[in-house]
Amino acid sequence: MKKKMIAALLTAAMAVTSLSGVAVSAADNSTDEKVEMADASDVDGTTITFWHSMGGVNGEAIDTLVKKFNDENEYGITVDAQYQGEYDDSLNKLKSAQIGNMGADLVQVYEIGTRFMIDSGWIVPMQEMIDADGYDVSEIEPNLAAYYTIDNKLYSMPFNSSTPIMYYNKDMFDKAGITEIPDSLEAIGNVGQDLLDKGGAGEVMSLGIYGWFFEQFIGKQGLQYANNGNGREDAATAVAFDENGAAKNILTAWKDLNDKGFAPVVGKGGDAGLADFSAGKAAITLGSTASLKQILQDVNGKFEVGTAYFPKIKSSDEGGVSIGGASLWALNNNDPKKLRATWEFVKFLISPESQAYWNAQTGYFPVTVKAQDEDVFKENVKKYPQFETAIDQLHDSSADYVGALLSVFPEARATVESEIESMLNGKEDVDTAVKNMSDSINKSIEEYNLVNE
Amino acid sequence: MENNVKRKIAPYLYLVPCMLIFGIFLFYPFIKTIYLSLYKTNKMGQAKLYVGLENYKDLLQSASFINSLKVTLIFVVIVVLGGMLLGLIAAVLCNKAFPGIRFFSTSYALPMAIASSSAAMIFQIMLHPAVGIVNKLLGLDINWLNDPNTALICVAVLTAWLNSGINFLYFSAGLGNIDETIYERASVDGATGVQQFFSLTLPGLSPIMFYTLVVNIIQAFQSFGQIKILTEGGPNESTNVIVYSIYRDAFFNYRFGSAAAQSVILFVIIMIITLIMFRIEKKGVNY
Amino acid sequence: MTQINDSVALAVGDMSREELLELKKTMNAKALAKRRSRTALRITANVVFAVLILLPLLYAISIALMPSNELFTTELNLFPKNPTFSNFVNAFRTVPLLKFILNSFIMAGCITIGQIITCSLAAFAFSFLEFKGKGILFMVVMATMMVPGEATIISNYLTVSSWGMLDTYQVLIVPYLTSAMGIFLFRQFYMTFPISLYESAKLDGCGNLRFIVKILLPLTKSAIGAMAVYTFINAWNMYMWPLLVTGSNNMRTVQIGISMLDSVDSQSITLMIAGVVMIIIPSISIFIIGQKQLIRGMFSGAVKG
C-alpha cells in the first residue's frame, strides 16, 4: 500500500513539474525587444553577479580587477565575482540556472559557445549598450571584435582572447644550423631530420590533438569551416571543410609528419604538447599565447624560447588566424539598473589600463587598442619580446579569416579530435577520417536544428 | 488492538527517514529521467519531440554504445578483481599483530582518502611519457594514456588502487569477526596454513566479501571523475564507459534524451547483476 | 608439533631430567626463531606492499615540493633537488583554502552523522523485524545505488533552487542524509547476529530504540567505523553537486577549490599537485582518527559471546 501511495505522489509531482517546465519556456520568447538601461547616476547600491572560469594566476588577476572596480567606481556598484569551474561546467550551470531564472548578470563563455549564446535568447547584445551609451567601437581591437560580430552587431565583449603561435627551441635550431624558421607544416617536414640529427632534439614537434589547431589550419589556408558564410550569414547547416579540401590538406600533412616520426601522438588538448617542449625534448610545439609565461617559467632558462607565426599547411598558403579564449555576455534579467551596472563594469574591464594589467598578468591579448600605449604593456613586451609575435600575427590577419560559428561546436571539436586520433593510430586513412568527421558533425547539426528553433 | 496496529506500523516508521530522502532526491528525478528518455530534447534539456523507444533503438544499434558496454564490462572486471585482491592481500598481511602494524594498516587504507579527481591528476603526471616516473622507472617509452591498448588498463588500475583502501578496511573488519578458536582447533587437527585459509578464512569472510563484491561492482560502473580528467573517453573511445558517455551526451552534446536512455539501460544492467548476486548469496554465503 | 610430542614421549623414558630440560630449551628456542622469522617475513612483505600502495602519494608530495621547472626534465626526478614550499604558499594565496576546508568539514561531518542514524534505523528494520513488503522495499533501497548520479543531478538542482536553498550548508547536506550503501552494510553486519539476541532483549522488556542504541550499535562499532570513514571521505570528495549548488567563496568546498588552481592556457602542474596534497591532509587525518576506533573494534575480539 505504501508503495502505491509513493507511486501516486511521484506521478503527481512529476506532472506538476513538467507543466511548470512548459511555462518557463513560454516566457523565454522575449528575445529581440530592446532592453532599457538605467541612467548611470541611478545605480547606487546595485550588486551584480559575474560568473567566470578563470583559475590560478588568471583568477588572481580577475580578483584584483574586481576589487579595484568595487573600491574605485563612482556609481556605487558592487561586483560579486564567482568562479564557476571550467568553461564546460560553467555553461551547464548557466543552463540549469536559467531554467530556474536565477543566473548571473555577466558571464564568461568560451568562444565555441558563441552561437549557442546568441541563439539562447537570454542575452542583451553588447551592441545595444554600446549604441545607448555612445561608446566608440573602434577602440576595440577589430580582429577580436570581428569574431563576436554578426551583421555589424557586436554580441559579446571579447575579454580574454588568445591567438595560436609556434614555440620553438632556439638552441636546437642554432645547433642544427637552421636559419629560416619554418612557416608551414610542409617546411617543418623539411627541417625535421636536421633537428633530430644535428639539433639534438628527441622529438621534432610535440603536437597536441586539439580541435582549435585544426580550425586554425583551415583559416591559414584561407578556407572556411562551415557553410553559410562560416555560420555567420546564417546558422550553418553543414560543414564546408570536406568539400573545399581544407580538411584533407590538414590531415594529409599531419599524417605525413607523423609517419616520418616527426610528430608523434602526445595527447589531446591544447596543453598536451607543452610538457615535452618545456622538458627540452621537442624542438617545436604549437600553443596559445597565453601559455608563454608558464612555458618560460617551466623552461627556466634551460634553453632559449623562440616564437613564430602559427604554421600554414603549405608555404604557399594565404590566410590568417582566428582567436580563441572567451568573451563576456550580458544576461537579460529585466532589470535596467543591473544592466547599467554590468555595462559600467564591462567598460572598466576593457579600459586600456585594465587591459594592460590583464595582459601583463596572463598573456591574453589586450582587447583595447590603446592598451598598447600603456607603460605596463610596453614594459611587459620588453621583458617578453616573444609576445611581439602574437601582436604582429593578429595585425597581419584580416578579419576575413575570423573563425566559424557553430551551434554544436563543442561536440564538433571533440569529433575532429577523435577522428584525427584514429587516423594517427593507424585505424583509418585520411579520406575516411575526413568523411567520418563531416558525416558525424553534419548529423549533429541536423539533430540540433530539428529540436531547436 | 491499538498495540497491534502500532506493532504493524512500527517497522515502516524506521524506514521513513531514508525513504523520504530517497523519494525526493532519487526516485522522483529518476522517473523524470525515464520520462525524458522517450523524447528528443532541446538544448535546455526540455522534452520536445516524442519518439517513444527510438532513443533506445538507436543506442542498441550504434557501434559506439555497444563499444561502451564492452569497455565498461572490461573496466569493471579489472577494477573489481584488482581492488579486491589488493585489499585482501593487505588485510591478510595485517591480520596478526607485529611491530609497526599501526603504520602499515594506516598506509594500506590511505588510498580511500583521496578523491578520484586528485588521484587522476597525480596519475596523469606519473604516466606522462616524457616526464613521468613510470616510464623512467621501468625504462619504457609507452604513451600510456594515449595508446588505445593501454589507456583502459591504466584507468582501471587507478580505480582499483583507489578502492583498495576501503576494501582493506572491509576485509579487516571481516577477518576480525572470525572466531580465533576455530584456527586453533584446525591446527590441532593438523591443517596447514594454506588449508586453513581456504576452508576457514574465506568462508568466514563470505558475508563481507559478498558485500564488498556488490559494492565494488556498483561503484565501478559509476566511475567518472578519473576518466573525465585522464582520457575523456578516448583514445578512440577505448575508455568510453557508459557513465562518461552519459555525461558527454547530456552536458556536452546537449542530447538529454539519449543520455536519459543510456542512464536507464545502465540502471537495468546494474540491477540485473545485483539480482544475480543476491541469488548467489542465498546459495553461497554463510552467516 | 604433534609428531614431535610423540617422539618425545617415546624418548622420555630413556632420558635424565637434565637432558629433558635441555631438549625443552632447544625446542622453545626453535619455536621462537620460527616465530621471529615469520614476523620478519611478514614485515618485509608489508614494506614491499606498502611502498607499492603509497608510491603515487609519495610522488605527489615530491612534486608539490618541486619548483615548477624541475618537473619538466627527461631525467629521473623522484626527489626534488631544490625543495621549496612556494607551491603551497601560492596555493593558499590563490584561493581561500582554509575556509573551503572548514566548509567541507562541516558538510562531510553532518552527512556522516546523518547517514549513520538513518541507515542503522533502516537496517535494523530490515534485519530484525518482520513486515509486509520487506523484501521488495529492500530491493528498492538497493536499486537506488544503481541510479547514475548524472541522471538525477540537474533535477535535484531545480528542486533545491525552487526551495530557495542554494548556497547554504543545508543544500550540501540534505540530499545525502541517507545511503543505500550504509543500509546494506549495516544489514549484512546485523545478519551475523543471532535473532535470539533481539528476542531475549525483547523478553527482558527492552524497547526497539533502546535495543538499537544500547546493544546493537556498540556491537557493530567496527562496521560503523568503516562506514563513517568511507562516508566522510566520499562527501569530502564531492565535486559536481557542490559546484552546481554553491556559488560564493563562503560556501565553496575543497574540491572546487583546487580546480580553481588550474588556469586554462597556463596550467601550473606543481601548483595543482600542491593543492591536491593539501586537501588530502585533512581527509587522511580524519581517517587516521577513525582508524583507531576501527582497530579497537577489530582487535577487541569476536563479536559473539
Cβ–Cβ contact A96 with C under 8 A: yes
Cβ–Cβ contact A108 with C under 8 A: no
Q: With a cut of 50, say whether residue A22 has pLDDT above it.
A: no
Amino acid at A332: N
C-alpha span between B285 and B208 (Å, rounded): 9
Contact C264 A53 (CB under 8 A): yes
DSSP-assigned states of every residue in A160-227: EEE-EEEEEEHHHHHHTT--SPP-BHHHHHHHHHHHHHTS--SEEEE--B-HHHHHHHHHHTT--SBH
Would strands A164-169 and A282-288 be described as parallel, antiparallel, or unpaired?
antiparallel
Amino acid at C181: M
Contact A89 C161 (CB under 8 A): no
Contact B146 A267 (CB under 8 A): yes
Residues 6+ apart with CB under 8 A from B80: B160, B213, B216, B217, B220
pLDDT band per the 50, 70, 90 thresholds, residue C211:
confident
Q: Phi and psi dihedrals of C15, rounded to 5?
A: -110, 160
What is residue A159's predicted lDDT score, i.e. its pLDDT? Answer: 93
Q: What sign does the dihedral A80-A85-A87-A90 (CA atoms) show?
A: negative
Q: Which of A59, A93, A279 sits opposite C243 (nearest CB)?
A: A93
Instruction: Please tell me whether residue A154 adopts helix, strand or coil conformation.
Output: strand
Amino acid at A377: F
Q: Which of C156, C291, C304 sits opposite B29 (nearest CB)?
A: C156
Cα nearest neighbour of A92 on chain B: B251
Q: Phi and psi dihedrals of C163, rounded to 5?
A: -85, 0
Q: Residue C141: its chain A contacts at CB < 8 A?
A: none
Contact C72 A83 (CB under 8 A): no
C-alpha span between A309 and C7 (Å, rounded): 91
**Average pLDDT of the residues in A340-362:** 92
What is residue C271's predicted lDDT score, i.e. its pLDDT? Answer: 83
Q: Which CATH superfamily is domain B55-284 in?
A: MetI-like (1.10.3720.10)
Cβ–Cβ contact B134 with C under 8 A: no
Q: Residue A425: its chain B contacts at CB < 8 A?
A: 147-148, 235-236
DSSP-assigned states of every residue in A48-83: EEEEE---HHHHHHHHHHHHHHHHH-TT--EEEEEE
Closest CA to B155 of B58, B55, B68, B224: B224
Contact C265 A202 (CB under 8 A): no
Residue whose grid cell is 533503438? B57
Output the nine-digit C-alpha cell for B248. Answer: 558527454
Residues 6+ apart with CB under 8 A from A118: A150, A155, A405
Higher-confidence residue: C209 or C136? C136
ipTM associated with this complex? 0.77
Q: Residue C264: its chain A contacts at CB < 8 A?
A: 53-55, 58, 86-87
Name the residue ranges covered by the structural domains of chain A. 31-162+324-390, 164-320+408-451
Cα nearest neighbour of A88 on chain B: B252
DSSP H or E stretch at residue A421: helix A409-424
C-alpha span between B233 and B228 (Å, rounded): 7
Q: With a cut of 50, say whether residue A23 has pLDDT above it.
A: no
CB atoms within 10 A of CB C51: 11
Q: Tell me the per-residue pLDDT of C288-299, one tens digit each, with 9 for 90 and over.
A: 777 666 555 544
Q: With a cut of 90, say whether residue A125 has pLDDT above it.
A: yes
Cα nearest neighbour of C96 on chain A: A60
Higher-confidence residue: A396 or C1? A396
CA distance B25 to chain C (A): 6
What is residue C266's predicted lDDT score, i.e. its pLDDT? Answer: 62
Q: Is the peptide bond before A164 cis (omega within 30 degrees of 0)?
A: no
Cβ–Cβ contact B1 with C under 8 A: no
Helices (H), chain C: 2-12, 17-64, 68-71, 86-94, 97-128, 134-145, 149-162, 169-173, 180-191, 195-203, 208-210, 217-219, 221-236, 240-245, 254-259, 269-299
pLDDT band per the 50, 70, 90 thresholds, residue A25:
very low
Q: With a cut of 80, say whether residue C232 has pLDDT above it.
A: yes
What is residue B191's predicted lDDT score, i.e. its pLDDT? Answer: 72
C-alpha span between B14 and C119 (Å, rounded): 9
Q: Residue A107: its chain C contacts at CB < 8 A?
A: none
Output the nine-digit C-alpha cell for B241. Answer: 564507459
C-alpha span between B259 and A204 (Å, rounded): 41
Size of interface A-B (CB pairs under 8 A): 97
DSSP H or E stretch at residue A47: strand A47-52
Contact C125 B208 (CB under 8 A): no
**Average pLDDT of the residues in A1-26:** 34
Cβ–Cβ contact B125 with C under 8 A: yes
For residues B111 and B161, the answer to whether their CB atoms sit within 8 Å is yes
Name the residue ranges covered by the structural domains of chain B. 55-284
What is residue C303's predicted lDDT score, i.e. its pLDDT? Answer: 36
Q: Residue A275: its chain B contacts at CB < 8 A?
A: 128, 130-131
DSSP H or E stretch at residue A324: strand A324-331
**Average pLDDT of the residues in A157-180:** 91
Higher-confidence residue: B60 or C142? B60
Q: Is C13 exposed, middle or buried (0-12, 13-18, 19+ CB in 10 A)?
A: exposed
Residue of C63, C86, C152, C266 to mutate, testing the A interface (most A Cβ within 10 Å of its Cβ) = C266
Size of interface A-C (CB pairs under 8 A): 114
Q: Phi and psi dihedrals of A146, rounded to 5?
A: -55, -35
CA distance C118 to chain B (A): 6
Lowest mean pLDDT among A198-207, A245-254, C105-114, C243-252: C243-252
Tell me the β-bridge partners of A282.
A203
Lowest mean pLDDT among A75-89, A269-283, B26-40, B182-196: B182-196
Give the mean pLDDT of chain C: 80
For residues A350 and A328, the answer to whether their CB atoms sit within 8 Å is no
Chains meeting B at 3+ CB pairs closer than 8 A? A, C
pTM, rounded to two decimals? 0.80
Amino acid at C234: N
Residue of B127, B146, B150, B238 to mutate, testing the A interface (most A Cβ within 10 Å of its Cβ) = B146
C-alpha span between B186 and A163 (Å, rounded): 74
Contact A275 B131 (CB under 8 A): yes
Cβ–Cβ contact A388 with C under 8 A: no
C-alpha span between C202 and C196 (Å, rounded): 10
Contact A281 B130 (CB under 8 A): yes
pLDDT band per the 50, 70, 90 thresholds, residue A167:
very high
Cα nearest neighbour of B273 on chain C: C146
Q: Which CATH code for domain A164-320+408-451?
A: 3.40.190.10
| Cα distances (angstroms) measured from residue A24 to each of A326, A447, B48 | 28, 23, 14
Chains meeting C at 3+ CB pairs closer than 8 A? A, B
CB atoms within 10 A of CB A244: 17
Residue whose grid cell is 537496517? C123
Cβ–Cβ contact A93 with C under 8 A: yes
Angle at A68 between CA A64 and CA A72, to 5 degrees: 175
Evaluate whether A31-162+324-390 and A164-320+408-451 have a shared fold.
yes
pLDDT band per the 50, 70, 90 thresholds, residue B227:
confident
**Average pLDDT of the residues in C74-91:** 80
DSSP-assigned states of every residue in chain B: -HHHHHHHHHHHHHHHHHHHHHIIIIIHHHHHHHHHTTEEE-TTS-EEEE-TTHHHHHHHH-HHHHHHHHHHHHHHHHHHHHHHHHHHHHHHHTSS--TTHHHHHHHHHGGGGS-HHHHHHHHHHHT-TTT-HHHHHHT----TTTSTTTHHHHHHHHHHHHHHHHHHHHHHHHHHTS-THHHHHHHHTT--HHHHIIIIIHHHHHHHHHHHHHHHHHHHHT--HHHHHHTTT-STTTT--HHHHHHHHHHTS--HHHHHHHHHHHHHHHHHHHHHHHHHHHHH---
C-alpha span between A87 and B226 (Å, rounded): 19
For residues A143 and A393, the answer to whether their CB atoms sit within 8 Å is no
Would strands B39-41 and B47-50 be described as parallel, antiparallel, or unpaired?
antiparallel
What is residue C4's predicted lDDT score, i.e. its pLDDT? Answer: 55
C-alpha span between A326 and A156 (Å, rounded): 10
Q: Phi and psi dihedrals of A282, rounded to 5?
A: -95, 145
Q: With a cut of 50, say whether residue C265 has pLDDT above it.
A: yes
Q: With a cut of 90, say whether residue A66 has pLDDT above it.
A: yes
C-alpha span between A396 and A309 (Å, rounded): 10
Contact A59 C72 (CB under 8 A): no
Calculate what percentage of chain A has a pLDDT beyond 90: 41
Contact A80 C265 (CB under 8 A): no
| Cα distances (angstroms) measured from residue B119 to each of B122, C96, C120, C255 | 5, 22, 31, 12
Q: With a cut of 70, say whether residue C194 has pLDDT above it.
A: yes
Q: Phi and psi dihedrals of B50, rounded to 5?
A: -75, 125
Instruction: Please tell me whether residue C179 adopts helix, strand or coil conformation.
Output: coil
Closest CA to A61 of A271, A279, A290: A290
What is residue B155's predicted lDDT score, i.e. its pLDDT? Answer: 93
Residues 6+ apart with CB under 8 A from C105: C282
Buried b (16+ CB within 10 A) or exposed e, B58-90: ebeeeeebeebbebbebbbebbbebbbebbbbb
Contact C142 B274 (CB under 8 A): yes
Cβ–Cβ contact B179 with C under 8 A: yes
Contact B287 C181 (CB under 8 A): no
C-alpha span between B273 and B77 (Å, rounded): 13
Instruction: Please tell me whether residue C84 adopts helix, strand or coil conformation.
Output: coil
Angle at A108 between CA A224 and CA A70, to 5 degrees: 145
Amino acid at C259: S
Cα nearest neighbour of B220 on chain C: C146
pLDDT band per the 50, 70, 90 thresholds, residue C5:
low
Q: Tell me the per-residue pLDDT of A131-147, one tens digit each, with 9 for 90 and over.
A: 988 888 888 988 889 89
Q: Residue C130: its chain B contacts at CB < 8 A?
A: 11
Q: Which CATH code for domain A31-162+324-390?
A: 3.40.190.10
